[in-house]
Amino acid sequence: MFEVILNNDKKFKCDSNTTIFEAAKKSHFFLEHSCLTARCRSCVVKVLSGKTENIQEELVLTDKERNNNFVLSCNAKPLTDLKLDIEDIGDVTLYEKKIFPAKINKIEKVTKNVIKIVFRLPPTSNFKFNSGQYVNLIKGSINRSYSIANSSNHNNKLEFYIKKYENGLMSKYWFEEAKVNDLLRVEGPLGSFFLRESKYENIIFLATGTGIAPIKSILEKIKESAENKYQNKIFWIFVGARHKEDLLWKPNISNIRINYIPVLSRENNNWEGEKGYVQNIVLKKNIDLKNAQVYACGSNEMIQSAKEILLKNSLKENNFFSDAFVQTN
């Protein structure tokens, strides 16, 4: 049995057959995570001292990261005592995942490649989640992950933005077969992408495509809150899309300060807003990144580029939170 120490001096035990993440969870410490299958990067952590071994082949870290002792906490098990450059997520309540039935309540076309699906839950489901988390939607033997797009004050309704993928098995169902009152199963809540308590003035959201869904969920939760703890914050929302018609949602929230900045990568000269990529436009706005938290959701390419660029420009590494969308057929 080995000892694992976090950089806020919290400690837990882990044997050589258990991943760092699972051992932390057993000791009631929750680390950053999402897929828990070594396919995304949400649980990446630097090992400051000690040795680890991967349970399965790891394909998402770069050679540079591996050479600098970065591992995925969901995939690495200890070979010695460990010191990690990470803190747990604090006193946030993480609700136990469960599986329950849900029926399609509404299907709405949003763009030519995105639909909005609203599910109604059984009154007895008592489903609780933190705004920003995701679930697995299960149709027969097909299981896909989708971020919840509405607030955790959900009144037994769950909303999702779903993108069409060519030759995708679940896409075929959503875009060609799905109808109101279809019965599916929901598994969740999952992931650790949600707003944290913060002393920092600037809260920056980066989204591409349907990555706006968990950010919409978080902001709607704030809109519904009677608390004033965000009145001294500045919220920056950078949303990336190819064309103007690909933008899915615009915030309408009056109880906090919001700067909404859509960024188009392929728009023609008729577009007078920002052009390019969200991570580059953040720098253009001269935000004090030393006094900021960043929440990024969308393509893995955007997330990795944003993290690299923003850390080079004074953002603290532990203030970057992400949820990468991994495409599956």
For the entire predicted model, the pTM comes to 0.87
The lowest-confidence range among 46-50, 228-232, 244-248 is 228-232
Q: What is the pLDDT of residue 328?
A: 57
User: Would you say the CATH fold of 202-325 matches that of 98-190?
Assistant: no
| CATH class of domain segment(s) 202-325 | alpha beta
Query: 39 pLDDT exceeds 90?
Result: no
Q: How far apart are CA 150 and CA 132, in angstroms?
A: 9
Q: Which of 40-49, 223-232, 316-325 has the lowest mean pLDDT?
A: 223-232
Q: Share the mean pLDDT of the chain.
A: 93
* Sequence letter at residue 253: I
- Average pLDDT rounded to a whole number, residues 232-261: 94
Domain layout of the chain by residue ranges: 2-84, 98-190, 202-325
pLDDT above 80: residue 47:
yes
Averaging pLDDT over each range in 116-120, 253-257, 319-323, which range is the top one? 116-120
d(CA 6, CA 83): 6
Residue with tokens 């990446």: 44
- Say if residue 215's pLDDT is above 70: yes
* Per-residue model confidence (pLDDT) at position 185: 97
Quick one: tokens of 199?
């002393």
Instruction: Name the strands in the sheet holding 70-72, side by side, starting at the edge strand that comes first in the sequence.
Output: 11-14, 2-5, 82-84, 44-49, 70-72
Average confidence (pLDDT) over 274-295: 96
| 98-190 CATH | 2.40.30.10
Q: Read off φ and ψ for residue 308, nearest 5 degrees.
A: -60, -45
Residue 327 confidence class, pLDDT cut points 50, 70, 90: low
CA-based radius of gyration for the chain? 20
- Which superfamily does CATH assign the domain made up of 2-84 to? Beta-grasp domain (3.10.20.30)
Q: Distances from the Cα of 101 to the Cαs of 31, 78, 166, 248, 275, in angstroms?
A: 29, 38, 27, 27, 42
Least confident of 92-96, 192-196, 312-316: 92-96
Q: Is the pLDDT of residue 329 over 60?
A: no
